[in-house]
Amino acid sequence: MAPVDPHSYTDGAHPVTKHAALSFYLDFTVSTIHASALLTLSEPHSGDLLLDTRAVSVHSATTAADPPEPIPFSLAASPDPVLGSALTLTLPPDTTSFRLTFSTSPDASALQWLAPPQTASAQPFVFSQCQSIHARSVFPCHDTPAARITFSLLLNVPSQLSAVAAARHVGRRDPLPSDHCGACDEALWCAPGRVVEEFEMEQPVPPYLFAFAAGGIGSRDLGPRTRVYAEGGDKVLDEAAREFAGVEDMVKVGEDLFGPYEWERFDLLVLPPSFPYGGMENPRMVFLTPTVIKGDASGAQVVAHELAHSWTGNLITNKTNEDFWLNEGFTTYAERRIVEVVQGEERAALNMGIGWRGLNQMMERFKDNMEFTKLKPKMAGIDPDDVYSEVPYEKGFQFLWRIERQIGRPAFDEFIKKYIATFKFQSIDTETFLEFLKANVPGIENQIDLHLWVEGTGIPPDAMEPDSAIYKKICSLAAEFKSGKLPSEDEVADWNGQEWELYLENLPTDVEASQVTALDERYKLSESRDYEVKVAFLQLAIPAGCKCYFNEVEKCLKQVGRMKYLRPLYSSLAKCSGEEKMLAQRIFSEAQEFYHPIARGVAESILSKHS
C-alpha cells in the first residue's frame, strides 16, 4: 500500500479513475441519490482496487461486459472519522471499466437538501460542496486532487425543477429506459413528471470540483460566455444581474494577466443563504453565497477570487491538501491583481490590509499548534475542515508578493504565465513549484529564504504589511479608539463595507461595552446589510459583554450559513462563560437543521471544544 495523499485511500501502485459516467436519480422525499457509476481506469488492472466513500451504501459492483459479471467488493465496516470507508473491489484480470450501483445517505457530507419551506422558490433544492474531501459522500471515487477525471452526468429530477452542474450542459429531455443503468428501477427513472438534465465534463478535473445543484433555478445572461443562475425569481435575478454586470470584463482582465480562459463559459450560481462558503470555484459555474449581493458591486472581490481559480487551482491543482497554498495563495495573489485592474490599486491595497490582519490573527489562533502556520503543514489524521484558515491564503499571498518584489513585476508576470502554461491540467506539489521557481529565476534561493517560507512556522521577517494611504489612515483611526475617539462623520463619509471591516478588525479587543455601543449608535453597524461589517462588529461586541446585541447575533446565525460568519460568532459566544455559552447552544440547536452538513460539523466542533 502506497498512499498518494493523506486524505485518500487511493493506492499509488494502482491505476486511478480517469472517467466516470454517472446516472443520478434525485429522490427529494428521502434526501437520497440512487445512482450508477461506470468508472474507467487509466490502465487495465487486476485484483484489489481501493476507492474512497463516506456514508454511501453500495448495492452492486459488476464488470462492464454484456452480460455483466459480479465483482467481489467490501466496504470497511467502521468508517475513519476523517477519511470515511475504503471500498475494496477485487477486479477480474485486465479490467478497465466497471459499474457500481449505490445510494447516498441523507447525511452525505457534501449535500444539503432543502425542503420547500426553506427556499425562496418554495421548491425543493439540493446542492453539493465537495471541497475538500466530500466528493466521496456523493460517489465512490479516487477522492484525491492528485487524480483528475472527466465525467458525464445525468441528473433525473422532478420536471418542475431545473438542474445545473460544473460541466457543459448537453440538454434537458425525457428520461430514456437506456439511461438509468441500474441507478434505480426503470419505472421510477422513467416515471411521468421526471426529466433528465444531461451534462458532460470533457476537461479533466480533480474530484473536489465535481458540483451540481437542482431546484427552482432561473437565469439571466450577462455576456457572451457569462450567465447568472439563482432561485427565488425575477427580483433576485435582476439584483444578481446588476451586481455581476462586470463579470465578462473581469474574465478578459484575467486572460490578459494569466493566459487564455480554458473553460469556455464562466457562469455564476447564487445559492440559498445556507451555502457554507463565500464562493466555490466549481469550473464553468462558480457557486456563490447570496450575501455577496449587497447592491454595491462589492461582490466583485469574491467573483475575482473564484475566477482567478480558473487558472490557479482548476488548471493547476494542489496535489494534496498539504499543498493547499498552491491553490489559495496563488489565487489570492491573482484575485488582487484582477481587483487592482477593475477597482483600482487602493481597493487592492485595502484587501491586502484585511488579509494582513487576518494572517496575524491566525498566529494567535494557532499559537498552541504552530504546524498550521506553515505554508505546507502535515495533514495526516487532520480533517481539512477543522484547520481551514487564512494561512494558506495570506501567507501564500505574502510569499508570492515577496518574490514579485524581488524580481520586479514584469519578470514575475512572465513567470506566472509560464508557470500556468507549463503545468495546466496537472496536479503538482510545493516541491515542483520550488524547482520551477529556481529553474526560471536563477539565484532566487540566495535572495529569499525559500525553506523558511515553506517549512517555517509564523510570519517570516521579510513579509510586508501593505503600505497605502487609506490602509494606514484606517489603522491609525482604529488605534485612536482606545483613547475614546470615534471616527468622525467626515472621516467615514466615503467608507464602504471593506473600510469598516478593516477598521473594526483593527480595533483593540479589550474595549469597553459603552464605547462599543457608542460606535454602533452613531454608525448602526450591528444592523448593517453587509454581513462582513455586521459580523466584525458583533465579534467586537460579544467579548465586550454587550448583551443588547444577542438578538442580532441570533438573527445572523439563523439567516446565513456561511462558515466565515458562523466560526467567529460561535467561537466568541462559546469562549464566554454563562449566558453567552448557553445562547450559542440554544441557537445551534434551533439553527442546525438550516446549516449545510460541513457547517453543522464545524459549529458542533467549536461548541464541543468549549463545553
Task: Select which of 306, 335, 394, 499 is catalytic.
Answer: 306
CA 548 to chain centre: 33
Strand partners, 155: 24, 197
Candidate segments 133-141, 329-337, 436-444, 587-595, binder of Zn ion by CB under 5 A: 329-337
Least Cβ distance, residue 326 to ligand BES (angstroms): 12
1 annotated ligand binder:
no
Residue 239 contact partner, candidates ligand BES, Zn ion, none, CB within 5 to 8 A by sort of partner: none
Q: Is the peptide bond before 132 cis (omega within 30 degrees of 0)?
A: yes
- Residue 208 vs 594, nearer CB to ligand BES: 208
Task: Select which of 229, 333, 393, 549 is catalytic.
Answer: 393
List of residues 6+ apart from 423 with CB closer than 8 A: 315, 316, 432, 436
Least Cβ distance, residue 321 to ligand BES (angstroms): 9
Q: How many CB atoms are located within 10 Å of the residue 477 CB?
A: 20
CA-CA-CA-CA torsion for 182, 184, 187, 192, nearest 10 degrees?
A: -120
Cβ-closest position to ligand BES: 278
Least Cβ distance, residue 605 to Zn ion (angstroms): 22
Q: Are 171 and 198 in contact (CB under 8 A)?
A: yes
Residue 37 contact partner, candidates Zn ion, ligand BES, none, CB within 5 to 8 A by sort of partner: none
Please provide the distance, in angstroms rounded to a whole number, between the alpha carbons at the two ends of the chain: 39
Residues at the contact surface with ligand BES, assessed by CB under 6 A: 131-132, 277-281, 301-302, 305-306, 309, 328, 388, 564
- Work out whether strand 426-428 and strand 316-318 pair parallel, antiparallel, or are unpaired: parallel
- Residue 175 vs 329, nearer CB to ligand BES: 329
DSSP H stretches of helix in 441-578: 444-447, 450-455, 469-480, 489-492, 497-506, 513-523, 531-541, 550-559, 563-575
Residue 343 contact partner, candidates ligand BES, Zn ion, none, CB within 5 to 8 A by sort of partner: none
515 annotated ligand binder:
no
Least Cβ distance, residue 167 to ligand BES (angstroms): 18
**Could you give the CA distance from residue 406 to residue 304 in angstroms, rounded to a whole number?**
25
Residue with C-alpha cell 489603522? 475
Least Cβ distance, residue 16 to Zn ion (angstroms): 24
Residue 283 contact partner, candidates Zn ion, ligand BES, none, CB within 5 to 8 A by sort of partner: none
Q: At what angle do helices 324-343 and 345-365 cross, to 10 degrees?
A: 150
Residue 243 contact partner, candidates Zn ion, ligand BES, none, CB within 5 to 8 A by sort of partner: none
Active site residue 393: yes
List of residues 6+ apart from 10 with CB closer than 8 A: 3, 4, 16, 50, 51, 52, 142, 143, 144, 146, 147
280 annotated ligand binder:
yes
- Residue 250 vs 280, nearer CB to ligand BES: 280
- Residue 98 vs 275, nearer CB to ligand BES: 275
Degrees to nearest 5, angle at CA 241 with 171 and 164: 25
Residue 415 contact partner, candidates Zn ion, ligand BES, none, CB within 5 to 8 A by sort of partner: none
Q: Are 549 and 580 in contact (CB under 8 A)?
A: no
Amino acid making up residue 35: A
277 annotated ligand binder:
yes
129 annotated ligand binder:
yes
Active site residue 306: yes
6 annotated ligand binder:
no
**Could you give the CA distance from residue 445 to residue 410 in angstroms, rounded to a whole number?**
20
254 annotated ligand binder:
no
Residue with C-alpha cell 485484483? 47
Site string for Zn ion, 330-359 (x = CB under 5 A): -x----------------------------
Least Cβ distance, residue 328 to Zn ion (angstroms): 5
Residues in the chain: 611
DSSP 507-521: S-SS--HHHHHHHHH
CA 557 to chain centre: 19
Candidate segments 185-193, 206-214, 265-273, 324-332, binder of Zn ion by CB under 5 A: 324-332
- Residue 427 vs 506, nearer CB to Zn ion: 427
200 annotated ligand binder:
no
Which positions are catalytic? 306, 393
List residues binding Zn ion (CB under 5 A): 328, 331
Give the annotated binding-site residues for a peptide: 129-131, 276-281, 562-564
